[in-house]
Amino acid sequence: MTHEQTPHILSYGKLTLVWLTLLALTALTVWVAHHNVGIGHVWGSLAIACLKSGLVIAFFMHMKYEGRLLRWLLFTALAILAIFIGFTFFDVLYR
Amino acid sequence: MSRHRDDTGAKLGMWLFLFTELFLFGGLFLLYAVYLSRYPREFAAAGREMHVVFGTANTAILITSSMLAATAVSAIQRDERRRVLWSLGGTVLCAAIFLFNKYLEWSAEISHGFYPNSPRLAAGPPGESVFFSLYYLTVGLHGLHVLIGGTLLIWVAVRVRRGVVHSGDYVLLENGALYWHLVDLIWIFIFPLYYLIL
Amino acid sequence: MSSAEQAQPCTEGGFWRDTGRTGITSWIFSTDHKRIGLLYFYSTFGFFLVGVMLGLLIRLDLMTPASTLMGPQTYNALFTVHGVVMIFLFIIPGMPGAFGNLVMPIQIGARDVAFPRLNLFSWWLYIIGAGIILTSLFTGNGPPDTGWTFYVPFSARTSTNVSLAVLGVFTIGFSSILTGLNFITTIHRLRAEGMTWGRLPLFTWSLYATAWIQLLATPVLGITLALILAERLLGTGLFDPTRGGDPIMYQHLFWIYSHPAVYIMILPGMGVVSDIIPVFARKPIFGYKMIAFSSLAIAAAGSLVWGHHMFTSGMSDTAILVFSFLTFIVAIPSAIKVFNWVSTLYKGSISLEAPMLFALSFILLFSIGGLTGLILGAAATDIHVHDTDFVVGHFHYVMFGGAGFAFIAAMHYWLPKFYGRRYAEKPAIVGWALMFVGFNVLYFSMMVLGLKGMPRRYYHYLPEFAPLNLVATIGSWILALGLIIMLVNLFRGLFRGEPAGDNPWGGATLEWSIPTPPATENFEQEPVVTHGPYDFTRTGEP
């Protein structure tokens, strides 16, 4: 109901820095895919994608400056999504 | 009792909505994971048919648009209305270019005979048909979100112009930007999974 | 706060009157949570009655082994539509939409939900979805005949109107998501001063847990239904084995939503019972924290067990083992609730009025439903009773004996607060008794039939099952008679009965501290809460 905290304003410099990092990571993931034939690189690509989305969430979406509640909710939601996908593999991997 | 404005509540509501979007795409990613583990070779073969250039360009475009949306939020907090409007305009322009690229890419793919239930896929190995069906569904659903997000941001920009959204009351812009970042986030995962499976 | 003495306390005052609009638009465009709650109540309850009719027809057909009352296609459509209507149009939206809207904002001391316009939009989506489903019955190649689960490959191939029905369910799913989103935000943001998480009434706690399932599981249903549409309209072949698809993946996706969804249906019912039992036992609830926590635990554990619907589907043995084991975990929080309710009753000053009778029968019927659920959750016994009437009996014990009876308990407990008048006690008890007896005759017979091998969803059956099927059908008539008596009495009372007064039951939650019927903005001033929801020494204070 009340404004608990004054909003944190991200500087344009920081936004640009995050943007450049994201572009660099995109280049990296393309490079990795082309120099690493085989299925193993899926995990590498996913790791880079997770890093990128972490940056987007933390800075562009201001999660770094939000309260504990939102962070916990996001964590819970992601954990449940991981369970939905992971538990399906109890079937798929052992059939 | 007077009616309070509850920006924190509005933002919480938006985040909850983003979770539902995540789970909507989650179902498709689940299917992708399962079928990738079943048909790794067919997926790799199908992935080689994808246009990496289009995918990479669109990734860069979406990341840029996301940065511009974040800039718009920073700008409105500093009460720089012109910069807000320019940033939002840039975001929407990126969205339009993204969709145009998508159109070119899909046209090329369809003309090569890659689309759900196409004769070429029906004749090929079963895993490829699954790959392309999933690709069209996931990217199509994502494209729909680009369209919705772009429209939402245009609407927000109009309200910024009219002064309804200003440095003292900008939760609408924040939420619009959050939605746009989600569109970007989903693409960050679509890109390696569909374009870089070589 | 003296409306008990007023001459016309009924639908004249409070939120019934003060509004800018008049006529029907003052309802269907209202953003008042109480009006939206009543909209939900009448629309969902209307569909409940439709579902009851369809159920009675199914029972009528099954009265004799080779009935020719209707054709087999009609029979298939009948059990499909019965399931779709009861699940998607009544139980899932019913309790949160109707009583969640009516009561929850008052219970936390708020004037409305966090997003009132979104709340109205949810109801409209529900009505639009319901309209699409109804349209699917009378257009195209006839009503869907797949069963409410829409299993592929049949749902992808049948020529009946599955596409439209699926679109309707999709729309209703969206409505359910928005209700969940609204309630979570409301409970986080709009609690009155002093309304700490430890003072939240247990009905509100259960809605909070429910809202999380609505929010996180329903989108998976959305994408699953969209995939059926894609199979039918685009021929994507994702579940078609001839093109590399896997039909079992459909079952995974469907149950990832639909198993948690049964907790959407039962959790608010548990909340109602947790609120009613202490009031009618005149004793604070036993184990408040554990009941609140077990709601969250059920929501969480319920998300891990979807595979137990698929033991005979051809899923891997490892998955059967894991999901069977996890299923037993859900029994723990459910049992915690049952034990705490019973402990609350112990040495209480129990008054057996209608809401309490329904709540007590909830405990018994839910326990039977829950324990038979363990028979189904254990892989070995499930193979024997899978796809028999045992499953149908079990499911109705939980959903009707549980969620349905809780809904009726809530009607008797809360509706007088909003109408200002109450029903007569004796006919209510007669109605309850008939329903209780009829219910058990009907569904217990079905469970016995299932153990003997009577398959579910069969149009004709072997003559050896005839006697018990006849008994079950007679049970359905007793149940329907009780339902009619209960309804006539309740609604006669709401419109013409004795004034209910502000606090007819002596409850200590906030909704009993304000005038009957509540004003549009509920509270004159924002209340400051000073005691817990079951502190009966402070009844009537905020």
Q: What CATH number is given to the structural domain containing B188?
A: 1.20.120.80
**Nearest in space to C530 (alpha carbons), one of C109, C249, C22, C235:** C109
Please check whether residue B2 lies inside any domain of the structure. no
| Gap from C324 CA to chain B (nearest CA, Å) | 21
- Which SS3 state, helix, strand or coil, does residue C422 take? strand
Interface test with B, best of C111, C185, C213, C228 (most B CBs within 10 A): C185
**pLDDT score, position B1:** 37
Q: Based on the domain organization, do A15 and A55 belong to the same domain?
A: yes
- Which SS3 state, helix, strand or coil, does residue C248 take? helix
**Are the beta carbons of C239 and C250 closer than 8 angstroms?**
yes
**Contact check, Cβ <8 Å, A3/B8:** yes
Q: Based on the domain organization, do A36 and A77 belong to the same domain?
A: no
**Contact check, Cβ <8 Å, C111/B1:** yes
CATH number of the structural domain spanning residue C40: 1.20.210.10
Which residue of chain A comes nearest to B178, CA vs CA? A61
**Domain limits at B190?**
8-195
**Contact check, Cβ <8 Å, C184/B16:** yes
Domain count, chain A: 2
Cis geometry, peptide bond prior to residue C153 (ω within 30 degrees of 0): yes
- State whether the Cα torsion C67-C68-C74-C78 is positive or negative: negative
Phi, psi of B167 (to 5 degrees): -65, -15
Q: Does A20 touch chain C (CB under 8 A)?
A: no
Domain count, chain C: 1
What angle in degrees, to the nearest 10, is found between the helix axes of C202-233 and B126-161?
120
Per-residue pLDDT of chain C (542 residues; tens, 9 = 90+): 344 444 444 566 788 886 667 788 889 999 999 999 999 999 999 999 999 999 999 999 999 998 888 999 999 999 999 999 999 999 999 999 999 999 999 999 999 999 999 999 999 999 999 999 999 999 888 899 999 999 999 999 999 999 999 999 999 999 999 999 999 999 999 999 999 999 999 999 999 999 999 999 999 999 999 999 999 999 999 999 988 999 999 999 999 999 999 999 999 999 999 999 999 999 999 999 999 999 999 999 999 999 999 999 999 999 999 999 999 999 999 999 999 999 999 999 999 999 999 999 999 999 999 999 999 999 999 999 999 999 999 999 999 999 999 999 999 999 999 999 999 999 999 999 999 999 999 999 999 999 999 999 999 999 999 999 999 999 999 999 999 999 999 999 999 999 999 999 999 999 999 998 999 889 988 899 988 999 988 766 66
> What is the per-residue burial (b if ≥16 Cβ within 10 Å, else e) of A65-85?
ebeeebeebbeebeebbeebb
**Domain limits at A16?**
11-61
**Contact check, Cβ <8 Å, C526/B27:** no
Which two tokens mark A37?
Answer: 């034939």
Stretch B24-28: mean pLDDT: 96
Q: How many CB atoms lie within 10 A of CB A93?
A: 12
Please check whether residue B87 lies inside any domain of the structure. yes
Please check whether residue B142 lies inside any domain of the structure. yes
Residue type, C485: I
Distance CA A56, CA C495 (A): 57
Which two tokens mark C238?
Answer: 């994702």
Please check whether residue A4 lies inside any domain of the structure. no
Please check whether residue A87 lies inside any domain of the structure. yes
| First-last CA distance in chain C | 13
Q: Based on the domain organization, do A16 and A50 belong to the same domain?
A: yes
Q: Based on the domain organization, do A56 and A72 belong to the same domain?
A: no
Domain count, chain B: 1
Interface test with A, best of C318, C325, C329 (most A CBs within 10 A): C318
Helix, strand, coil shares of chain B, percent, nearest 5, are: 80, 0, 15
**Contact check, Cβ <8 Å, A87/C315:** no
Distance CA C147, CA C75 (A): 11
Q: Based on the domain organization, do A17 and A53 belong to the same domain?
A: yes
**Contact check, Cβ <8 Å, A29/B196:** yes
Condensed to tens digits (0 to 9), the pLDDT of residues B107-135 reads 999 999 898 888 888 888 888 999 999 99
Q: In chain C, which residues have their Cβ closer than 8 Å to the Cβ of A70?
A: none
**Contact check, Cβ <8 Å, A1/B64:** no
**pLDDT score, position A33:** 83
**Contact check, Cβ <8 Å, A84/C303:** yes
- Which SS3 state, helix, strand or coil, does residue B111 take? helix
Q: In chain B, which residues have their Cβ closer than 8 Å to the Cβ of A12?
A: 71, 74
Q: Based on the domain organization, do A47 and A86 belong to the same domain?
A: no
Residue type, A81: L
| Gap from A37 CA to chain B (nearest CA, Å) | 7
**Contact check, Cβ <8 Å, C181/B137:** no
Q: Based on the domain organization, do A40 and A80 belong to the same domain?
A: no
- Cα distances from A71 to residues A46, B142, C108, C264, in angstroms, run 22, 25, 24, 25
In eight-state DSSP terms, residue C528 is B
| CA A62 to chain centroid | 13
pTM, rounded to two decimals: 0.94
Chains A & B: contacts with CB separation below 8 Å: 119
Please check whether residue A2 lies inside any domain of the structure. no
β-pair partners for C129: none
> What is the per-residue burial (b if ≥16 Cβ within 10 Å, else e) of C365-398?
bbbbbbebbebbbbbeebeebbebbbbbbbbbbb
Helix (H) or strand (E) holding C499: strand C498-499
Question: Which residues are CB-neighbours of C46 under 8 A, at least 6 positions away?
Answer: none
Question: Which residues of B have a CB under 8 Å from any CB of C?
Answer: 1, 6, 8-9, 12-13, 16-17, 19-28, 30-31, 34-35, 38-39, 42, 116-117, 122, 125-130, 133-134, 136-137, 141
Average pLDDT, rounded, for chain B = 93
Residue type, B120: R
**Domain limits at C333?**
3-538
| Gap from B70 CA to chain A (nearest CA, Å) | 5
Q: In chain B, which residues have their Cβ closer than 8 Å to the Cβ of C519?
A: none
ipTM of predicted complex? 0.94
